[in-house]
Structure formats: structure tokens, C-alpha cells
Structure 1
Amino acid sequence: MMNIIFAVFIGGGLGSVLRWLISLRLNTPSSSIAVGTLTANCVGAFIIGLGLAYFNKATHLDPVWKFMLTTGFCGGLTTFSTFSAEVIYLLQAGKIGWALFSILVNVIGSLLMTVLAFAVMNKL
């Protein structure tokens, strides 16, 4: 159990740092939508799709790796809380259209990226 906790801890730390770096690079104060958050969510959704599809086939691997990648790394990389806060800020600023757009592209984009990743892994 401790090895899984440690794996999630390491993966989560790496994913969180990557999300922070993506946000620093892509989010700008003048933008109506947080491109960094969208990128982190969609990339994380793609990676978790690849990982889950791979681990479903590679049953011989230690489950620690699955937890490190999915719960840890992807959990740290993706961010529902930041996304939620950004939508609330848009609503408070009266940017209802941008808030709805952000909701749509984050949710639908993430789902599509996960589906795409499963499709890619099933082709390999």
C-alpha cells in the first residue's frame, strides 16, 4: 500500500508542476479563456486515455505504474478546481458566453481526447 501512495505522490507532484508550467506559458491576463488550463485538461485526458487503454492490455505490469500515471500524474496535471474558478470569474465579469464556451471546450475537449487516445491505443 505504501508503494502505491508513494507512486501517486510522485506522479501527482510531477503532473502539478507540469500544469503550473503550462499555465505560466499559455495563460495571459488579457485572454477570455484560460488556454493553459484547457491545454492541461485535454493533454491529461489524452494521457489518461492512453494509459488506461495500455494498462487494460498490459495486465502483467505492477499496478503501481497505473496509479502513478492515472491517479498521480494525470490527477495533478488536470484541474477541475481551477477550471471551475475560471468559469466563476468569467460569470462574475458578465462574460456568460465565454464561460459557456470554456465549459464546452474543457468538458467536450477532454472527453474527445480520451476517446481519441483509446482509439489510438486500440490501433497499435
Structure 2
Amino acid sequence: MSSWLNLTAIALGGAAGAVCRYGITLAASAVPGGSSLWGTTIANVLGCAILGGVIGWVEAGGVLAERASLALRVGFLGSLTTFSTFAADSSLLAQQGRWGGSGIYVFANLVVGWAVLMISCSWIKGWAG
């Protein structure tokens, strides 16, 4: 029974993350000069910030039940963020000869995402500890 409950938690979290991702993409595309590329970057960096906060919370002694962790980390954040879309978009930019844009896009998703995860983890650990 526990496995089914875990799968249900992941599915519910995944549905919520997918809907949020879609909303972020729509919002980013609706802004003048915006595009789905911005939506992907925002979703990925936001996901890194949330994951860093969760990691910091747990490392500082905060409690997150296994099922809640699965729903949040695997379900919600797994569907909110997307490596495959990031890889395809950066490849398309490079194929179009937009090397500068591709480089900035890769930097924003990987380096900024990593930095935001580290910062939010440290901030939450300091706040909760």
C-alpha cells in the first residue's frame, strides 16, 4: 500500500509542477520581448531555489516526511524543471548560429541555477538553524 501512496504523491506533485511550468511559460511568452526560453530559464532557476531551500531546511534539522519529499522533489520539481527542453532549446539556438544567445542560455540555466540552489540552501540552513 505504501508504494501506491508514494506513487500517488509523486503524481499529484507532478501534476501541480507541470501546471505551474505551463503557466510560467505562458507568462514569459506574454511579456513583450519574452519567449518560452525565458519560461524554461525561470522554471529551472526557480526549481533550483526551491530545491536548495528544501535541502537547507532538512540539513538544518527540519522534518520533511518521505511522502512529502517525494511529492515535492520528484513530482513537483521534477515536472517544473526540465532538462530536455533546456537541451533542445540551447541546441536550436546554436544550430541557428545564435552562439551568444545559446551561451547565455546555457549559463543562465546551469550556472545561475547552481548558484541559486547553493545560496537558498545556505540561507535556509542559517535561518532554520
What TM-score do you get using the length of structure 1 for normalisation? 0.89
Runs of 4+ in 1 over 6 A off after TM superposition: none
Does the CA contact (< 8 Å) of 1:33 and 1:98 recur in 2? Answer: no
- Pick which of 32-41 and 6-15 moved more: 32-41
Q: Work out which of the residue numbers 63, 66, 90 in structure 2 matches 1:63.
A: 66
Deviation at 1:3, TM superposition (A): 1.2
Q: CA RMSD in A?
A: 1.9
Q: C-alpha displacement at 1:9, in angstroms?
A: 0.6
Distance 1:34 1:107 in 2: 14
| TM-score normalised by structure 2 residue count | 0.86
Determine which of 5, 10, 16 is the counterpart of 2:18: 16
Cα shift at 1:30: 5.7
2:26 and 2:36 in contact (8 A); partners too:
no
In structure 2, relative to structure 1, the CA distance for the partners of 1:31 and 1:24 (3 Å cut) is closer
CA contact under 8 A between 1:51 and 1:69: conserved in structure 2? no
In the superposition, relative to structure 1, how do residues 9 and 81 fare at CA in structure 2: closer, same or farther (>3 Å)? same
Residue 3 (str. 1) matches residue 8 (str. 2): no
Is 1:116 the equivalent of 2:113? no
- What's the CA shift string for 1:35-60, capped at 9, x where partnerless? 1111000000011111122234234x
Query: Counterpart in 2 of 1:79?
Result: 82
Please state how far the C-alpha of 1:27 moved relative to its aligned partner.
Answer: 3.0
Equivalents in 2 of 1:25, 1:40: separation in Å? 11
Aligned mate of 1:89, from 83, 88, 92:
92
How many correspondences in the alignment? 123
**1:89 deviation in Å?**
1.3
Change (3 A) 1:19 1:32: closer
What is the deviation of 1:97?
A: 1.3
CA distance in 2, matches of 1:68, 1:6: 8
Question: Percent sequence identity over matched residues?
Answer: 28
